[in-house]
Amino acid sequence: LDTGSYYEHYLLVREKYGEQLKIRFGVEYGLQPHLKQRSIEYLNAWPFDFVIGSSHLANGKDPYLPYYFRGRSEREAYLEYFESELECVETFDNFDVYGHLDYVVRYGPNRDRFFSYKEYSGILDEILKRIIEKGKGIEVNSGGFANGLDHPNPREDILRRYRELGGEIITIGSDAHKAERVAFRFDSVEDLLKSAGFKYYTVFADRKPEFIAI
């Protein structure tokens, strides 16, 4: 990411459309514990409104690629991802929400066929509790729908558990990558949030949460 160019374009767009749209400056940052100092320096160098911390790698391995799952059970592969995610949550503080918590499920051999909150409740509870203790939130990401699942990431039972544990900060993202997927199935996500017990979703300005009624 050429952040300098991104920031310049953000300022131009804000100047042109700022009276019509609320335009914020944000980033999704892939967290890796051995790169903690680099992430601190980068995130402190720019005036972000919003930072999503996320895990795309588990111990240097990418679940997007088939080799991540070879030579072991799907459960072992999923657990490694969640354990790595917990390490990142413990290690980092400079994020506002954690993105697509069950991202690994998009690419598993059986996808979400045998996946549920109940099957991984121990490690998922540790992750959710630590996020809440730190005053952070989670993202519900409609990219799950776009990647062939029948739910966003994370799925509804994890969202419900997050709310039961006292989680309140929750943002909505689409993992768009393409303009036509911006806000993809946000209506479905709002329905799921209501069903899970949420009355608000969250946006950020200057790294501070703002709550908007659903």
Range in 46-50, 87-91, 151-155, 210-214 the model is least confident about: 151-155
Domains of the chain: 28-213 (3.20.20.140)
- State the pLDDT confidence band at 175, using cuts at 50, 70 and 90: confident
d(CA 153, CA 142): 7
Under 8 Å between Cβ of 200 and 168: yes
d(CA 75, CA 119): 9
- The token pair at 89 is 């949550």
- The token pair at 144 is 């799950």
Mean pLDDT of the chain: 95
- The token pair at 168 is 């309140």
pLDDT tens, 23-40? 999 999 999 999 999 999
| pTM of structure | 0.94
Predicted local confidence at residue 111, as pLDDT: 83
pLDDT tens, 71-97? 999 999 999 999 999 999 999 999 999
- The token pair at 105 is 């499920």
Predicted local confidence at residue 123, as pLDDT: 98
Helix (H, G, I), strand (E, B) or coil at 16: helix
Under 8 Å between Cβ of 94 and 40: yes
